[in-house]
Amino acid sequence: MFRAAGNLSKSMMKTQRRCLNLQEFQSKEILKKHGCSVQKFVVVSNRKEAEEKWMSFGDHEYVVKAQILAGGRGKGKFINGTKGIGRVYITKEKIAALEAIDEMIGKRLVTKQTTEEGVRVDKVMFAEGVDIKRETYVAVLMDRETNGPVVVASPDGGMDIEATPIDIQMGMTDGQALKIAKDLQFEGHLLGAAATEIKRLYDLFIAVDATQVEINPLVETAGGRVFCVDAKMSFDDRASYRQKEIFAYETFEEHDPLNGAGLAMPTMDLIKLHGGEPANFLDVGGAVTEDAVFNAVRIITSDPRVKCVLINIFGGIVNCATIANGVVNAVNKIGLKVPMVIRSEGTNVDAAKLIMKKSGFTILTANNLDEAAAKAVSSLPK
């Protein structure tokens, strides 16, 4: 909830940025779709589903990974979890791998990038283990200096980095791909395999309008193969209309409940974009109650400097109807002396809109965040 007042300097650029983060299995799905080599994997939300999907798996070393967006997952720990079961669990026993799912699904995982409450794990990725002989690093990204794509490669995870600019009009040549593979110290038949993998990564980068495709690590196996074991991808948000399948992965459910950055930052950005100045925000979190909403409205409207209140609801975890009831009760008891704009989307959004309509109060509604920010700014006193 925000107070918007005043104008921005004319020199401020009116641009909007959003950050699309993908979970590991989503990145792997994109890699696989574009012909890149990834080990066999499945994604499940319970043990029964895992047992059904694993019928096609042979006897291998198994890797079980909890899927959340927060970084630092390799050293993550589960709250009240079983000793020895972290975010990543490796075993050669299928039954042990299956049992690990019960220690991950529904539990809260704490990493260096989460709060102390951690993040609930709802999906787990099972993958065949890779017998890693050697790890390398390769990334394709947009470079300001060359004003185009560049491939950054390191044969030893960040040491002896080589950068190869690519002409975006010509694309990556076979010679460039081979040079990069040599820089990564692939030899023999693996030189050609690695060059093919690098070229596919570049083609993927262009095809999906990426700003970065990072493979860490790109590995050489003891069996003489090349695999993309883990990936991090960033995308140009202006190309979302072309990349609808990828942007459909977007979720707001894992934002920090303490600072509300998942919704607060884009909301404040849009207020600025439309010429307003956000002064503060309150985030009510995913476990919000009607009483908490009542108190949030009370706190915001108690400030005599408030000129407008914007309420932005994304009902992934929270129920939109709960917010609506809390807002209506607050307005009924406290009164409303300034304009209020509400944008809601997600769980029970239709019920929420009906609650607000039946309230009889003059509450402005919006179908999307951009419209909500525009209405909030335009409602300010002239």
Fold match between 40-128 and 132-248?
A: no
Band of pLDDT at residue 22, cut at 50, 70 and 90: confident
Classified by CATH at the fold level, domain 263-379 comes out as Rossmann fold (3.40.50)
From 147-151, 235-239, 372-376, the region with the lowest mean pLDDT: 235-239
- Distances in whole angstroms, Cα of residue 370 to Cα of each of 60, 84, 150, 287, 375: 50, 47, 34, 26, 9
Sign of CA dihedral 333, 334, 339, 344: negative
pLDDT greater at residue 225 or residue 314: 225
The one catalytic residue in 62, 137, 254, 290 is 137
What DSSP character marks residue 102?
H
Question: Is 202 one of the catalytic residues?
Answer: no
Q: Do residues 364 and 379 touch, judged by C-beta distance below 8 A?
A: yes
Asked whether the predicted pLDDT for residue 42 surpasses 80, the reply is yes
CATH class of the domain whose range is 40-128:
alpha beta
Asked whether the predicted pLDDT for residue 131 surpasses 80, the reply is yes
Rounded distance between C-alpha atoms, residue 326 and residue 337, angstroms: 17
Strands 364-366 and 340-346: parallel
Band of pLDDT at residue 187, cut at 50, 70 and 90: very high
pLDDT greater at residue 368 or residue 264: 368
Domain residue ranges in the chain: 40-128, 132-248, 263-379
Asked whether the predicted pLDDT for residue 191 surpasses 90, the reply is yes
The one catalytic residue in 24, 103, 197, 214 is 214
Rounded distance between C-alpha atoms, residue 127 and residue 60, angstroms: 10
CB atoms within 10 A of CB 43: 20
Rounded distance between C-alpha atoms, residue 356 and residue 344, angstroms: 11
From 142-156, 190-204, 252-266, 293-307, the region with the lowest mean pLDDT: 252-266
Q: Do residues 319 and 348 touch, judged by C-beta distance below 8 A?
A: yes
Asked whether the predicted pLDDT for residue 26 surpasses 80, the reply is yes
Q: Quick check: helix, strand or coil at residue 114?
A: coil
What pLDDT score was predicted for residue 87?
Answer: 78
- In this predicted model, what pLDDT tens digit does every residue of 199-252 receive, in sequence order? 999 999 999 999 889 998 999 999 999 999 988 888 887 788 899 888 888 764
pLDDT greater at residue 248 or residue 36: 36
What DSSP character marks residue 225?
-
Band of pLDDT at residue 6, cut at 50, 70 and 90: very low
Q: For the residues 337-358, what does the mean pLDDT come to?
A: 84
Rounded distance between C-alpha atoms, residue 129 and residue 111, angstroms: 23
pLDDT greater at residue 81 or residue 279: 81
Q: For the residues 145-151, what does the mean pLDDT come to?
A: 87
Rounded distance between C-alpha atoms, residue 208 and residue 211, angstroms: 9
What pLDDT score was predicted for residue 287?
Answer: 55
Asked whether the predicted pLDDT for residue 139 surpasses 90, the reply is yes
Rounded distance between C-alpha atoms, residue 200 and residue 40, angstroms: 18
Question: Is 345 one of the catalytic residues?
Answer: no
- In this predicted model, what pLDDT tens digit does every residue of 99-123 receive, in sequence order? 898 889 988 988 776 777 788 899 9
From 143-147, 149-153, 167-171, the region with the lowest mean pLDDT: 143-147
Q: How many residues does the chain have?
A: 382
- In this predicted model, what pLDDT tens digit does every residue of 67-90 receive, in sequence order? 987 665 566 788 877 766 777 889
Asked whether the predicted pLDDT for residue 152 surpasses 60, the reply is yes
What pLDDT score was predicted for residue 319?
Answer: 75
What pLDDT score was predicted for residue 298?
Answer: 80
Cis bond leading into 217, ω under 30°? yes
CA proximity to 250, closest of 38, 65, 18: 18
From 138-142, 197-201, 310-314, the region with the lowest mean pLDDT: 310-314
CA proximity to 168, closest of 147, 197, 196: 147
Classified by CATH at the fold level, domain 132-248 comes out as D-amino Acid Aminotransferase; Chain A, domain 1 (3.30.470)
What is Dmax (Cα atoms) for the chain?
Answer: 77
What pLDDT score was predicted for residue 199?
Answer: 97
What pLDDT score was predicted for residue 203?
Answer: 97
